[in-house]
Amino acid sequence: MFFKYVLRSLLICIPFLAQAQMENMAVIEKGSYVPLYGRDSVKVKIDRFALDVYPVTNADFKKFLKEYPEWQKDKVKALFADGNYLRHWDANGSLKKGESLKAPVTNVSYFAAKKYCECQDKRLPTLDEWEYVAMADETTADARVKDSYNEFILSWYEKPNSFNQEVGSTFKNYWNIYDMHGLVWEWTSDFNSVMISGESRRDVDQDNNLFCGSAAIGSSDLMNYAAFMRYAFRGSIKANYGVRNLGFRCAKTINNQTKQNDEDL
Amino acid sequence: MKIYKYFLLALLVINLWSCKDETKKEVAETEESKAETNKEEEELPGLSIYNLPTKWTTQDGKEIELKDLKGDVLVMVMIYTSCQASCPRLVADMRNIHKKVSDKANKETKYVFVSIDPEVDTPERLKAFAKENQMESNEYLFLRGTKEDTREFAAVLAVSYKSISPMDFSHSNIISVFDKQGVMKYQKEGLGEDDSETIKTIQELAN
């Protein structure tokens, strides 16, 4: 009898836990799109998944550093972060003057971002997932054809120091996600699938991928110069880099199994 | 049936906390075996790839951790076995390097091929690939990991790759040389280029 009672109370707390995890995440419905550069302009399928509504903030990251001190500025392994890591924090692990706790955390390496998400039982979004969500404006899932949408993004690219604004200060898009454009650029789990560094022109096989003349003209979405810039940026960074305007947010796979469990409950 | 469900739930709860638990366990373990491991851990340079806790399967189906390779000079390259274009040339480059390095140095060197296509490149397939390319001696190691670990490892090597069709990948052609502590000492990009610097580095590191 008592056993049953315990089990019942367990049942109550599980959905709560699951919900706590999904807090501040929005569900992105499945779909497909033709990325700027992909498999010969073939549509990429995106499964249903969840994405953080806001980029990870300095405050969030501070909490993480407390729990996982091995990622603190003075303790992090050189393999995982270059000298720019948390450059806007002081040696005692607090933010430097003029930096906002509510601003997106930047100067974080790929490894640190990845670890952060794993420790929330999440993961970094894939490049395709990120771009899929990023093509939405306030009202449409794919706003890439709208001039106003592209102009907004490009005008942000010209604006300096947008990284120190608070999260949520740009628009909420079709998927209820904030700040995909306007604050910082973001790490993706497979950012190193873009081939445009030195080796792409020289010695990658199939090397007319993105920047070589024919590929540039052939890229599948000529309107999307903004996306083109993002791909170029991703191709130019390495996993241990800390960059002042590069942050991240986490994603979560919603697999059918969990869904079934939820339904059973 | 019900019990089964509860079991699943319990698993879920455990999963939720696993990330934390791991660290705690790690702490406990390190404390326990402080005397033995602490010194070793401290000696590991911050830039060493052995800081990466990844697991791999070899062409012989053996499970290894990256740090099991510590103590040898590593010459690493990322390939996939069904590759028709540059991989055969990359493989040839590796073979040439192996040939030119002295026997003595080769005893302390491992030539490691990491698959970027873990779904297709099973240990059996890697084994067959090794045979085809006459790379069956002890110095050659073929590794396959999870998709995620492979992506991360590529990030460490600054290798980019992307699946461009169900059968093909585009990828950077980079050969990396690591010292016995796992610190990257030299990288050469490109195919069939002058490998004298690579060989010189291996030769120096192995002694």
Confidence of residue A112 (pLDDT cuts 50, 70, 90): very high
Q: Which of A111, A188, A195, A203 to mutate to test the interface with B (most CBs of B within 10 A)?
A: A203
Confidence class for position B6, pLDDT limits 50, 70, 90? low
B81 and B106 share a domain?
yes
Q: How confident is the model at residue B158 (pLDDT cuts 50, 70, 90)?
A: confident
**A132 has a pLDDT exceeding 90:** yes
Number of folded domains that form chain B: 2
The predicted pLDDT at position A216 comes to 41
**In a shared domain, residues B91 and B28:** no
Indicate if the pLDDT at residue B48 is higher than 70. Answer: yes
B155 vs A264: CB contact, 8 Å cut-off? Answer: no
Q: Partners of A100 in the beta sheet?
A: none
> Which tens digit of pLDDT belongs to each residue from A241-252?
999 999 999 999
Could you say which of B43, B60, B75 is where a domain stops? B43
Beta pairing, strands A25-28 & B169-171: unpaired
- Residue A168 belongs to some domain of the structure: yes
Question: What is the domain range of residue B94?
Answer: 49-206
CATH of the domain at A253: 3.90.1580
In a domain, A223, yes or no: yes
**B26/B128 same-domain check:** no
Where b means 16+ CB within 10 Å and e means fewer, A111-147 reads: bbbbbbbbbbebbbbbbbbbbbbbbbbeeebebbeee
Judgement on whether residues B129 and B36 belong to the same structural domain of the protein: no
Query: Is residue A114 domain-resident?
Result: yes
Q: Which of B5, B9, B161 sits opposite A193 (nearest CB)?
A: B161
Evaluate whether A130 touches A234 at the Cβ level (below 8 Å).
no
Both B105 and B175 in one domain: the answer is yes
Residues 6+ positions from B190 with CB-CB distance below 8 Å: A199, A202, A203, B173
Least confident piece of the model among A91-100, A118-127, B196-205:
A91-100
Distance of CA B116 to the CA centre of its chain: 11
Domain count, chain A: 1
Highest mean pLDDT, choosing among A15-29, A83-97, A139-153, B55-69: B55-69
Range in A6-20, B53-67, B126-140 with the lowest mean pLDDT: A6-20
Is A30 a domain residue? Answer: yes
Count CB-CB contacts under 10 A for residue B177.
Answer: 23
Q: Do residues A174 and A136 touch, judged by C-beta distance below 8 A?
A: yes
Mean pLDDT of chain B: 82
Greater confidence (B36 vs A70) lies with A70
| Residue A249 within a domain | yes
Distance CA B55, CA A59 (A): 33
Task: Please give the C-alpha separations between residue B64 and each of A44, B35, B50, B58, B112, in angstroms, as whole numbers.
Answer: 35, 24, 12, 7, 13
CA distance B175 to B186: 8
| Same domain flag for B130 and B29 | no
pLDDT of residue B32: 47
**Residue A159's pLDDT band (cuts 50, 70, 90):** confident
Contact B157, B145 (CB under 8 A): no
> Do B106 and B125 belong together in one domain?
yes
d(CA B137, CA A199): 31
Residues A152-175 as b or e (16 or more Cβ within 10 Å = b)? bbeeebeeeebbbbebeebeebbb
Q: What is the pLDDT of residues A200-231, one digit of tens each?
A: 444 444 433 333 333 343 344 445 677 888 88
Shared domain check, B197 and B140? yes
On whether both B21 and B59 belong to a single domain, the answer is no
Same domain, B172 and B78: yes
Percent of chain B with pLDDT over 90: 56
Query: Measured between CB atoms, which of A80, A119, A261 is closest to B8?
Result: A261
Query: Tell me, what's the pLDDT at B192?
Result: 66
Q: What's the average model confidence in pLDDT over A8-22?
A: 47
Phi, psi of A154 (to 5 degrees): -65, -35
Residue carrying structure tokens 């919603």: A254
At residue B10, φ and ψ (nearest 5 deg) are: -60, -40
Same domain, B20 and B116: no
| CATH code where residue B64 lies | 3.40.30.10
**Domain containing A32: what range?**
25-264
Q: Write out the two tokens for A264.
A: 């059973």
The better pLDDT of the pair B15, A116 is held by A116
Question: Which residues of A make CB contacts under 8 Å with B?
Answer: 7, 10-11, 14, 17, 21, 39-40, 67-68, 77-80, 110-111, 114, 118-119, 121, 189-190, 192-195, 197-200, 202-207, 209, 235, 238-239, 261, 264
